[in-house]
Structure 1
């Protein structure tokens, strides 16, 4: 049965249609979650939450909606929400928001916030010393020379660490773009 037919039945609270959609897509949701979550349990929890949200929002679904796209958006938001609790506001959130056009809608604002949270997550994944150097440069606006003096390292080391951090961020942000 096609997705649009299953969505129509789902809107009528048909549990068999829900089960069919679950069986058809749970693995894709799980695999996508595993890209960003380290634990199997966390990914399984996201799968459960995604399908709970699908069931709870079935009345608002349209038969012509792209179901796979909806699954991706819900999954992505749940993953970001898990990390949002532990992340602090910083320079990147302000940069992402200010870079947006003045006439943006709510969806773009949410996407910018999610991207900013994702950047925070990536920064937290950097090795501790690289993260410290990167934060001194980007959050505290210290020069390479100031950082080198503060940490008793060479300016070249600071430059290399910043360069590696930026490469890591660019690589992972471009990987995210493949899923959008």
Structure 2
């Protein structure tokens, strides 16, 4: 019934509480979202659970979620959920090393990622990122690790581009301060 419908049409039907429209979106994106999560977390069962939860949250919040591009929304949600999963599970060292290589490839500006190089330094920067306020940490990871631009972050989080810029500036400033003055962690 909905196979020929566009994503935008399906979203409209979902807002009208049509579960069949959600089922069609699920069939369109579930497999590739699971594959994306599996790349990050290397656990197929956990990836499937993460993706299922994304669809459940989307359904539960269908009246309040404002989505311009559902594909972008799902892929960004999957990446962020996988990163959150990793953070909660404290990923194995080999995964952190893989992630370190990705971060070095994406770091184009003079950021703490360039200032600190190598495996030990990267572990240190991860622990410093964990000390940032949650909103700053999320924006920094989306920008530097997920390589998202300010407009994508703004749309995904529902905040202004200016707020994204401010939070990004503050997070980098705080990281630089912590790198230069490690004793600030204890104060």
2:74 aligns with one of 71, 74, 89: 71
Give the superposition deviation at 1:111: 2.9
Look at both structures and tell me which one has the larger radius of gyration over its CA atoms.
Answer: 1
TM-score, structure 1 length as denominator?
0.51
Number of the residue aligned with 1:92: 125
| Unaligned runs of at least 5 residues, structure 1 | 98-105, 119-137, 142-180
1:74 to 1:4, Cα distance in 2 relative to 1, 3 A: same
1:6 to 1:80, Cα distance in 2 relative to 1, 3 A: same
Query: How do residues 9-158 of structure 1 correspond to structure 2 at under 5 angstroms?
Result: 9-62=13-66, 65-87=68-90, 91-93=124-126, 109-113=137-141
TM-score, structure 2 length as denominator?
0.49
Contact 1:34 1:43 (C-alpha < 8 Å) held by counterparts: yes
Count of residue pairs the alignment pairs up: 111
**Matches of 2:125 and 2:18, distance apart in 1:** 44
1:110 to 1:69, Cα distance in 2 relative to 1, 3 A: same
**Matches of 1:39 and 1:69, distance apart in 2:** 23
Partner of 2:63: helix, strand, or coil? helix
Give the superposition deviation at 1:40: 1.7
Contact 1:29 1:75 (C-alpha < 8 Å) held by counterparts: yes
Give the superposition deviation at 1:87: 3.9
What's the RMSD between the two structures over aligned residues?
Answer: 3.5
Partner of 1:85: helix, strand, or coil? helix
